[in-house]
Amino acid sequence: MRFYYGWVIVAIGLILLMIPVGLMNAFGLFVIPVSEAFNLSRANMNTGIILLHLGTAAAAPFVGRMLDVYSARKILIAGAILFSLSMIVLGLSTNIWLSAFVIAVPLALGIAGGSTLTAPALVTRWFSANRGRAMAITMMGMSLGSVVIVPLFGVLIDTFGWRQCLVIVGCGLAVIFLAIVPLARERPGPDDREPMTAGEAEKQAVARDSQAGQSPLKTSQLLRTPHFWTMALSTAMALGALQTIIISLVPLAQENGLSVNQSASLVSLVGALAFAGKLMLAWLGERVDRVLLLSGVFVLVMLTSVALLFDHSYVALLGCSVLIGLASGTVTPAFLALLADRFGAASFGTANGTATLVMAITSATSIRLGGEIYDRTGNYDAMFLTFGALALISALLMITNRPRKRLGGSAQPT
């Protein structure tokens, strides 16, 4: 059987996603040296990561739309230049306002265009029958970023200092992108055949015929599509709940008498099971209905939230960490594959970029809500109850995206 080039695209996507996730997770390594260099408080120092999150969220709809209208390779090149130069400028900058601008604008655009939005868009164009498996493998880069990139940053900072580390990383990124860009082919050629069964080939032919000649949806059209909102809002609420619960695990454990090592082990377990969740999704591939899978995962989030109301022992928290990890590792790749199924490769960039902004706003709101609830009540019970209810609503919203059966027996998307 001839090798399918789409798997090279998956490998490229995996590498592209490793870099920004590793960078964000390595932020803590820069807190002390950078705050000392610029005489910053911890609160002001932490504003840097907030600016990056806000910048990437704001850039997402714009970059997503560009991916649908222009060449993905050109977007990748532009993102690569911005990403690499931003790291170098941050290493050389002695002006805190310049650094803040670089983080919020060119670096955010570079990450979106050179990684987080372009990688899944390319995978979507190369896969249909094996889209779920391909997307799950690509998303493993997000987990591997912490394993590979964060230790590399640590070694570079210890050896050369934080400024030289950023300059070296910027130059290294330029070399990596120079190697990747020529390999990042836009779409399958006439001789590229995705491996699939006869039934899958028939379904792909029908989908290709139905999408032939389609122009990308405009953002205004997308926002008027009900099932975009049911998909995006349900996933955003569940992810926001998951992220807030993960952030709250360590303080919850320590307040209930667990040691620092025991508390840290919970977070490590979440990370390991998130990777396992992606592996499981890659194995399942197209064997499972994505709407049912996501609805089931959201129910799992609800059950975990309820469980955290009653038992805070180490064993109970370990069990909840397993469920949280599996859920967090499954949601994003399954959602992206579903988004591609429903809106097609032609409009995936716009749909993903807009959904990314919705998720960023919802996650920030959830994290703030969790903190406010704790400050006002002195415990996490009301937070878990709220997130359990939101997860149930998410499951109900997601299930509405299942195709309806017409009287004649054919399926009609909602």
Residues forming a β-bridge with 411 = 405
Total residue length of the chain: 414
* Long-range contacts, stretch 179-183, CB < 8 angstroms, 24+ apart: 180/12, 180/15, 180/16, 180/76, 181/73, 181/76, 181/77, 181/80, 183/8, 183/12
Q: How far apart are the first and last CA of the chain?
A: 38
pLDDT for residue 414: 40
Residue that wins the pLDDT comparison between 387 and 31: 387
pLDDT for residue 199: 53
3-state secondary structure of 11: helix
pLDDT of 363 strictly over 70: yes
Tokens (6 digits) for 89: 């400028």
Sorted by where each begins, the domain ranges of the chain are 6-187, 217-402
The mean pLDDT of the chain is: 87
pLDDT for residue 413: 45
Which has the closest alpha carbon to 312: 372, 367, 245? 245
Highest mean pLDDT among 56-65, 148-157, 254-263: 56-65
Question: Is the Cβ–Cβ distance between 219 and 354 less than 8 Å?
Answer: yes
pLDDT, one tens digit per residue, over 95-116 is: 999 999 999 999 999 999 999 9
- What is the pLDDT averaged over residues 269-277? 87
pLDDT for residue 330: 92
Question: Is the Cβ–Cβ distance between 403 and 276 less than 8 Å?
Answer: no
pLDDT for residue 204: 55
Residue 155 burial (10 A CB sphere; 0-12, 13-18, 19+) = exposed
Question: Is the Cβ–Cβ distance between 150 and 26 less than 8 Å?
Answer: yes
- Distance in angstroms (rounded) separating the CA atoms of residues 294 and 317: 23
pLDDT for residue 49: 81
- What is the pLDDT averaged over residues 233-252? 90
Check if 6-187 and 217-402 are the same fold.
Answer: yes
pLDDT for residue 213: 52
**Strand bridging mode 404-405 / 411-412:** antiparallel
Tokens (6 digits) for 322: 């397993």
pLDDT of 32 strictly over 50: yes
- Distance in angstroms (rounded) separating the CA atoms of residues 16 and 77: 12
pLDDT, one tens digit per residue, over 10-26 is: 999 999 999 888 888 78
Domain 217-402 bears CATH identifier 1.20.1250.20: yes
| Residue linked to tokens 């939005």 | 117
Tell me the CB-side half-sphere exposure of residue 215, using CA atoms within 13 A. 4
Query: What residues have CB less than 8 Å from 48, skipping those under 6 apart?
Result: 27, 34, 99, 100, 103
Query: What residues have CB less than 8 Å from 127, skipping those under 6 apart?
Result: 6, 133, 134, 135, 194
pLDDT for residue 410: 42
pLDDT, one tens digit per residue, over 323-361 is: 999 998 899 999 999 999 999 888 999 999 999 999 989
Question: Is the Cβ–Cβ distance between 58 and 108 less than 8 Å?
Answer: yes
Lowest mean pLDDT among 128-137, 255-264, 398-407: 398-407
pLDDT, one tens digit per residue, over 198-226 is: 455 545 544 444 444 567 888 899 999 99
pLDDT for residue 180: 94
pLDDT for residue 201: 52
CA dist 372 to 8, 244, 310, 368, 382, Å? 46, 12, 21, 6, 11
Per CATH, the architecture of 6-187 is what? Up-down Bundle (1.20)
CA dist 118 to 100, 265, 363, Å? 24, 33, 22
- What is the pLDDT averaged over residues 279-286? 82
The DSSP result for 283-349, as a single string, is HHTTSS-HHHHHHHHHHHHHHHHHHTTT--SHHHHHHHHHHHHHHHHHHHHHHHHHHHHHHHHHHHH
pTM of the model: 0.82
pLDDT for residue 196: 65
Query: What single letter denotes the amino acid at residue 272?
Result: A
- Distance in angstroms (rounded) separating the CA atoms of residues 285 and 24: 29
